[in-house]
Every structure is written in C-alpha cells, then in structure tokens.
Amino acid sequence: MGLKNRIHEGYTYFMTMTVVDWVDVFTRPVYKDIIVNALKYCQQAKGLEIYGWVLMTNHLHLMASARNREITMSDILRDFKKYTSKKIVEAVQLERESRRNWLLYRFEYAGKYEPKNKIYKFCQDGSEAKEILTPEFYQQKLT
C-alpha cells in the first residue's frame, strides 16, 4: 500500500474499495451477497469492527477498525479483497449473467499487466483509507 493511504493500527478508517474501471457489478444480488457474507465472516473470525458501510453499484464504502492486534486492518482488507475478488469472478463464470463475456474481458484486461494477478483483477489497488480523527468527519461519512 502506498504512503498516501497507509493504514496504522489502532485507528478507525473510512475506506473505499472500487471495482476496476468502475464496472457496475453490484447490481445483482448474487454479487452483493458475496460482499455481505465476507464482511460478516471478517467480523466473526478476524475481528473486524464495522461502524457503517454502504455498497454502491461499483464500490464499497466501509467505516471500520481492527478489534485486536493479532490480525491487522491491512491483513483483513487484503484477505477480504482477495476472497471476494475470487468468489465474484467465479460467480460471473457460473451464474446466468448477460454481461459475462464483457465482465470477464474487463477483469482480464485489468489484470493483464499485473504480475501478482493470475488472470483476473477485480478490485483497484488500495482502499483510499482515511483516518477518522474528528466526530464531524465520522458523522459526515456515516450520513
């Protein structure tokens, strides 16, 4: 993660995780469910504390922190993005999806020159993490 949005432990963050090319994937319940179930899992198994979230058609806003220091916020985000990316691409391949070829093309094209990707890239790099330092910023992002 770049220095611009480095995550420090012990803080609450407002983060945005965006689909590559702002592709509107979360218009179908099957893809939304993958995100919701992964958030629940991260809460139960990894200590993710969620204060607010909203899933838009092509990105997720999340206000959260890590409950303990054994699993850091960076670790949780890395695992969340890796898991959801894999599961959503699998769902696109398996579900009745009218845009299947186009979606897979976009994800393949985005991952083509990324050495850490095997084939597809679903999420943009980073999470635009911003520390929540004031009650005003917290309230602004929550409403």
The predicted-structure confidence for 113-123, as pLDDT tens digits, reads as follows: 777 767 899 99
- Cβ–Cβ under 8 Å, residues 59 and 81: no
Q: Select from 3.30.70.1290, 3.40.570.10, 3.40.50.300, 3.90.79.10 the CATH code of 3-142.
A: 3.30.70.1290
pTM score, two decimals? 0.88
- pLDDT, position 1: 40
Spell 25-52 as b/e; 16+ CB within 10 A means b. Answer: bbebebbeebbeebbeebeeebbbeeee
Provide long-range contacts, Cβ within 8 A and 24+ apart, for 110-119: 110/20, 110/21
- pLDDT, position 83: 96
Kindly state the average pLDDT of the residues 121-136. Answer: 87
pLDDT tens column, 4-56 = 456 767 789 999 999 999 999 999 999 999 999 999 999 999 999 999 999 99
Spell 61-83 as b/e; 16+ CB within 10 A means b. Answer: bbbbbbeeeebbbbebbebbbee
